[in-house]
């Protein structure tokens, strides 16, 4: 096999500004891995051996001809339920993943050892092709707390409204879209539903990105064609790059060795962790101080608990994921953990509840909106209510914590409608912003003060550091 150093390579039309715009979201998600503390852990090995071409310098970037790419992707297609093809659009994304952002792909390959086994379990249950797990790389670069500019969150980038349709909810302390287990089940159900709707996996992918309505409109404009590449010109701009990006990721995940990309080695494998039910309110600090679980591990394995607090369960226990070596000790000392420094829970609930209330008021005042009640009339849809008050459907769903977009006659809704009676938005919002900053500062000082007291008492340091959609 002949290699050439990739110094100046022309990718034709895919090098223009339109192609760069399509690739921007992919790059944005990969770049988000820079701040992931998981990769800063002392046990994390940032550069494993590639395997096939270990004799090459790490800095060397191989480049292959179009015929090599086409042959490799054709080989993958023969074993896949997807009609994988190679074209100039796919070539552009191979460049993004295998050249421009290759150092992040090394980290993504490490994360596959944590998340791909979870995806495989769910996909088998719902009849989803195994290659679909690569979609999460396109969506979030396997960053469980990734947030897009549009507000989509988590590994599978659910918008709030779509997430709630599939059982993903948000509160002051929990964001289900950040929960790898819950979000993966929701993504499996959503993808299955989209495939049932369109009968084609590529169209299901396009609908996952742009929404079923956009795909249906593209099909109509294409004269009823139900092939992704035939409706491609009629899809939203970002969605045109969605399937090519998916094909490119599928290629790179199978041929990263040939591209001299060396996987980072994670501190934990998925099989080395497990979930346990939590039957009372619990803070990450309690787990850290009683069990000695490194704080970085707890945070990384449980990104859904936004405030570092597992709330007391309302109906069924909340779940927490821990390294397996701590699970038996947790079960043995469970009641002791809940009883240890209960003021940690009380203080955290008090401070974060105050911050939440201020943030909600800040949102209302800064947007110039006042609270209004609306009683749903017979036959009235949520879209009609949204148009009446000049708000979005997703806002109504969020404000009322709705589990679906279906309304019942007589149902009461809370609407924050634009009003002028609130007076000066600037002054009121500024006051609330100042109050919110003071509360957050107080929460930080409280944490620092407790650490200082502990140090003065000669306490030992806590455990050593460890490894830690639809849009429309």
Class of residue 292 by CB neighbours under 10 A (exposed 0-12, middle 13-18, buried 19+): middle
Closest CA to 179 of 89, 79, 304: 304
- From CA 359, how far away is CA 353, in angstroms rounded? 10
Q: Reduced to 3 states, what is the DSSP secondary structure of residue 348?
A: helix
- From CA 37, how far away is CA 213, in angstroms rounded? 38
What does the angle CA 337 – CA 114 – CA 36 come to, to the nearest 5 degrees?
80
Q: Which residues contact 340 (CB under 8 A, 6 or more apart)?
A: 286, 289, 290
**Three-state secondary structure string covering 9-28:** CCCHHHHCHHHHHHHHHHHH
Q: Reduced to 3 states, what is the DSSP secondary structure of residue 32?
A: helix
The values of phi and psi at residue 229, to 5°, are -70, -25
Whether the Cβ atoms of residue 123 and residue 133 lie closer than 8 Å to each other: yes
* Residue whose tokens read 């940690």: 344
Q: Which residues pair with 372 in a beta bridge?
A: 415
What does the angle CA 338 – CA 339 – CA 343 come to, to the nearest 5 degrees?
95
Q: Residue 310: in which H helix or E strand, if any? A: strand 309-310
Q: Tell me how long the chain is.
A: 472
- From CA 148, how far away is CA 141, in angstroms rounded? 12
- From CA 376, how far away is CA 18, in angstroms rounded? 44
E-only strand ranges, 50-187: none
Give me the helices (H) in 211-323, please.
Answer: 212-221, 228-231, 237-240, 242-255, 284-291, 295-301
Q: Which residues pair with 414 in a beta bridge?
A: 373
- From CA 2, how far away is CA 12, in angstroms rounded? 22
Q: Work out the number of other CB atoms within 10 angstroms of the CB of residue 315.
A: 4
CA dist list (Å): 433 to 306, 351, 428:
20, 15, 9
Catalytic residue among 14, 131, 139, 258: 139
Whether the Cβ atoms of residue 185 and residue 128 lie closer than 8 Å to each other: no
Residue 139 is among the residues annotated as catalytic for this protein: yes
Q: Which residues pair with 374 in a beta bridge?
A: 413
Q: Reduced to 3 states, what is the DSSP secondary structure of residue 346?
A: helix
Whether the Cβ atoms of residue 182 and residue 168 lie closer than 8 Å to each other: yes
Residues with a catalytic annotation lie at: 139
């Amino acid at each position: 096999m002949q290699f050439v150093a990739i110094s100046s390579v022309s990718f034709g039309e895919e090098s223009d500004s339109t192609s760069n715009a399509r690739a921007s979201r992919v790059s944005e998600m990969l770049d988000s891995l820079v701040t992931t503390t998981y990769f800063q852990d002392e046990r994390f090995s940032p550069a494993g051996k590639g395997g096939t071409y270990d004799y090459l310098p790490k800095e060397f970037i191989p480049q292959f001809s179009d015929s090599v790419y086409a042959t490799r992707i054709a080989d993958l297609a023969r074993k896949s339920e997807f009609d994988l093809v190679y074209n100039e659009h796919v070539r552009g994304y191979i460049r993004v993943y295998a050249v421009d952002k290759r150092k992040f792909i090394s980290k993504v390959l490490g994360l596959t050892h944590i998340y791909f086994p979870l995806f495989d379990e769910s996909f088998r249950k719902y009849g989803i092709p195994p290659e679909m797990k690569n979609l999460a790389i396109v969506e979030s670069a396997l960053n469980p707390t990734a947030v897009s500019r549009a507000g989509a969150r988590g590994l599978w980038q659910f918008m709030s409204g779509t997430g709630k349709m599939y059982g993903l909810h948000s509160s002051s302390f929990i964001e289900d879209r950040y929960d790898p287990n819950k979000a993966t089940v929701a993504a499996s159900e959503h993808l299955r539903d989209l495939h049932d709707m369109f009968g084609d996996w590529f169209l299901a992918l396009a609908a996952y990105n742009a929404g079923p309505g956009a795909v249906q409109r593209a099909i109509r404009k294409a004269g009823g064609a139900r092939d992704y590449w035939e409706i491609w010109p009629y899809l939203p701009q970002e969605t045109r790059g969605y399937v090519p990006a998916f094909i490119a990721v599928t290629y790179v995940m199978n041929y990263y060795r040939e591209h001299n990309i060396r996987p980072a080695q994670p501190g934990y494998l998925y099989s080395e962790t497990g979930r346990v039910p939590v039957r009372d309110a619990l803070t990450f600090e309690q787990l850290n101080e009683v069990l000695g679980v490194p704080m970085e591990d707890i945070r990384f394995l449980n990104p859904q608990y936004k405030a570092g607090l597992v709330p007391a369960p309302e109906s069924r226990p909340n779940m927490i994921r821990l390294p397996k070596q701590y699970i038996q000790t947790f079960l043995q000392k469970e009641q002791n953990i809940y009883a240890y420094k209960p003021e940690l829970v009380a203080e955290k609930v008090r401070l974060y509840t105050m911050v939440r209330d201020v943030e909600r008021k800040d949102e209302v005042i800064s947007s110039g909106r006042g609270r209004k009640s609306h009683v749903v009339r017979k036959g009235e849809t949520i879209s009609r209510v949204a148009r009446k008050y000049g708000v979005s459907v997703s806002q109504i769903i969020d404000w009322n914590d709705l589990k679906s977009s279906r309304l019942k006659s007589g149902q009461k809704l809370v609407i924050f409608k634009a009003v002028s009676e609130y007076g000066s938005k600037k002054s009121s919002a500024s006051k609330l912003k100042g109050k919110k900053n003071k509360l957050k500062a107080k929460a930080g000082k409280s944490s620092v003060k407790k650490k200082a007291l502990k140090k003065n008492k000669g306490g030992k340091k806590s455990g050593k550091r460890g490894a830690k959609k639809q849009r429309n």
